[in-house]
Amino acid sequence: MKFALFGNTYQAKKSVHAERLFRLLRQHDAQLCICREFYRFLAQDMRLEEIPPEAELFDDDRFQADMVISLGGDGTFLKAASRVAGKGIPILGINTGRLGFLADISPEEMEETFDEIYAGRYRTEERSALQLRCDDARLTREPYALNEIAVLKRDSSSMISIRATVGGALLTTYQADGLIVATPTGSTAYSLSVGGPIIAPDSKTIALTPVAPHSLNMRPIVICDDREITLDVESRSHSFLVAIDGRSESCRETTRLIISKAPHTVKVVKRIGHSFFDTLRNKMMWGADVR
């Protein structure tokens, strides 16, 4: 098999996991290509000697592989997902971060996991993504989000007004610090932290969750993911922020945002027997009685 490797370039103390990963891949006679940014971090900053000398290097999304490995936390996984885009390559997330909701394979499970992969004992989950369309080229260079697209006020000044239509019908005008449009995968990320609902990954829905709304009766809403969402924003500063899976850019007030389901899905590699509900209970202590 051929693997493409992305990694976290901010966790020097976790480089030991990369060494172990390289040894495992060597045992399986795997081919490897490495994101150039991660390679430089390992070779120059960490002076790692275990890097396979025959590994190919690539930039951006210019690679082909049977499977992508994300070595880091959920942020690293999202970065890998943005580079995979419509390639249809499944992504294996090895968690060296904190929570690890997307990257849910622990370093201690690496050996068993690769044995299972080579034996064909694994499954892939197809996760829906969002696509942003607008007239701002900075945003449309990487327009896809696995978690969410968020519209936020730019500074600490007054709230912004966000006029939202769904499928051509007016939903409402949000007076708030922002609005999060989340996939089911993203429902346990930013959206959840501001009161959004937890949504099962296969539910074919989109959640709209306001950030600090002015009205207490302005609640999150869940819609079918075949609807197109149009957002028009007004701000006293005449600009606002758009964050696509955390990659944020400032936008002019006149920029209309059109959000829809992406034409592709993101394939996530899962071990057999691991479920979304296991992750909820074990990593988020969902439903736990702490009395």
Q: So which residues are the catalytic ones?
A: 74
DSSP H or E stretch at residue 9: none
CA distances from 247 to 3, 126, 128, 145 (A): 25, 23, 19, 10
Looking at the DSSP bridge assignments, the partners of residue 4 are 33, 68
DSSP state of 219: -
* Burial class of residue 63, CB neighbours in 10 A (0-12, 13-18, 19+): buried
CA distances from 269 to 36, 75, 121 (A): 23, 17, 11
Place of tokens 């030991």: 16
3-class state of residue 186 by DSSP: helix
Sign of CA dihedral 102, 194, 183, 222: positive
Residues 156, 177: Cα–Cα separation, whole Å: 9
Residues 187, 190: Cα–Cα separation, whole Å: 7
**Quick one: how far is CA 93 from the chain centroid?**
11
